[in-house]
Amino acid sequence: MAEKITLQDIARHVGVSKALVSMYLNNKTAGRVAEETKRKIDQAVKDLNYKPSLMAQALSSGKTRTIGMICGGLKNPYFAYLVEDAMEEAAKHGYQLLLALTRWIPQEEEKVLENLLQRQIDGLISCIDTPRDSSTRQILLDSKIPVFRMNEPESDFSNISTDLSPGLNEAMRRFAEEGYHTVHGSFYANSIWPAAFMEAAKAYRLNAEIMSESLNEKDIRQLVNSQSDPQAHGYIVNGYRSLMYLQKSLADIPDSRPSIVIGLDDYFILQNFDCIKGSIYTDTPEIIRSTVQRLIKSIETPAISNRSEIVSQSIFLDRDASAKRQQKLLLYQSAINFPSQAERI
């Protein structure tokens, strides 16, 4: 087995001190190193196939170049796509992404988060709820590392989000023009959707009612059946489970053709467009890429304080445009080349 190449081997090959090689490769005082010496060190690294010790670099810089990400699980395709895009963006900047899953069990969150922090991550993307009185939130605050969230308004952590107003306002305008008087919204409680939904409904003088995203099929069926005139009720839904239950409940009402507007992004696959009036499209891939970029900036520039930032605008897509967007996504996924069994071996 070949011996591992060390900084001393690089220094001996070039004819300079080990300290000079170390400072240059760690980007310290690189400006004071002669250009010819830099060239010789770079060539020696290549010729000798030198691989730096990540542990040694971490000890020297105090940084592991590792980002943590915590979420419920990957069986939900949304999070599977989200994690993959975060991982790719982190790699572009020379960072590794370390993923921790809570399996959607609140009691697991504290243990999983502590385990993640013990790996000495430099920053964290959190996709779990952290109520103000929770121990999980306190652990994050005590960690003293940059913590970023997506599309969730926060005062204690940085938040990268989408402006939902353009898409929601257009949806409400269409509901009002078509004679609807009440619009129901189903969203994750701690997301940016509920507040933006209520504001848009108020602007068009529509009654607005929030349905909990956690409602089960029975609850939604009771809600739909309680409406004296289902045709006067519209729905805006950002959540696959609620949409599935809602469509099933509405299908049981004879001659009912209520309108549903869905939250749509490039992670969401919808096969059934029954009752779909249109969608509010948000560029989630851009949001996660921006989150990773700004997290890295916060890691490398600690003086940057927590802040919220809007990096994209939502848009309203009618039924046909929504279907075309989905078709484009399906074509993209079908074009992905997975390695064959022979290639894996």
Calpha distance 217→231 (Å, rounded): 20
Calpha distance 209→240 (Å, rounded): 19
**What are the counts of helices (DSSP H) followed by strands (DSSP E) for the chain?**
14, 12
Token pair 């810089």 is found at 61
pLDDT for 7-44, tens place per residue?
Answer: 888 889 889 988 888 878 776 555 678 888 888 888 98
Over 80: is that where the pLDDT of 89 sits? yes
Start-end of H helices in 15-128: 18-25, 35-47, 54-61, 77-92, 106-117
User: 128: which DSSP letter?
Assistant: S
| Distance, C-alpha 80 to centroid of its chain | 10
pLDDT for 310-319, tens place per residue?
Answer: 888 999 999 8
Q: Specify the higher pLDDT residue, 139 or 56.
A: 139
Q: Which range, 130-134, 219-223, 252-256, 294-298, is most confident? A: 294-298
> Which element (helix H / strand E) includes 280?
strand 276-281
Residue-level pLDDT at 228: 60
> Cα dist. 277→45, 101, 168, 221, 260 in Å?
60, 35, 13, 20, 5
- Cβ–Cβ < 8 Å for 86, 74: no
Q: Which range, 110-124, 143-157, 178-192, 256-270, is most confident? A: 110-124
Tokens for 234, please give them: 């519209």
Calpha distance 322→120 (Å, rounded): 43
Tokens for 298, please give them: 């916060």
- Cβ–Cβ < 8 Å for 79, 71: yes
Token pair 């068009």 is found at 204
- Cβ–Cβ < 8 Å for 281, 317: yes
- Of 272, 199, 279, which Cα lies nearest the Cα of 235? 279
Question: Across residues 245-270, what is the average pLDDT?
Answer: 78
Q: What is the mean pLDDT of the chain?
A: 83
Residue-level pLDDT at 4: 79
What the chain holds in terms of domains, given with CATH numbers, is: 7-52 (1.10.260), 66-161+286-311 (3.40.50.2300), 165-281+316-333 (3.40.50.2300)
Residue-level pLDDT at 1: 43
Over 60: is that where the pLDDT of 231 sits? yes
Calpha distance 52→41 (Å, rounded): 13
Q: Specify the higher pLDDT residue, 152 or 256.
A: 152
The crossing angle, in degrees rounded to 10, of helices 217-225 and 240-251 is 50
Split at pLDDT 50, 70, 90, the class of 62 is low
Over 60: is that where the pLDDT of 304 sits? yes
Over 70: is that where the pLDDT of 198 sits? yes
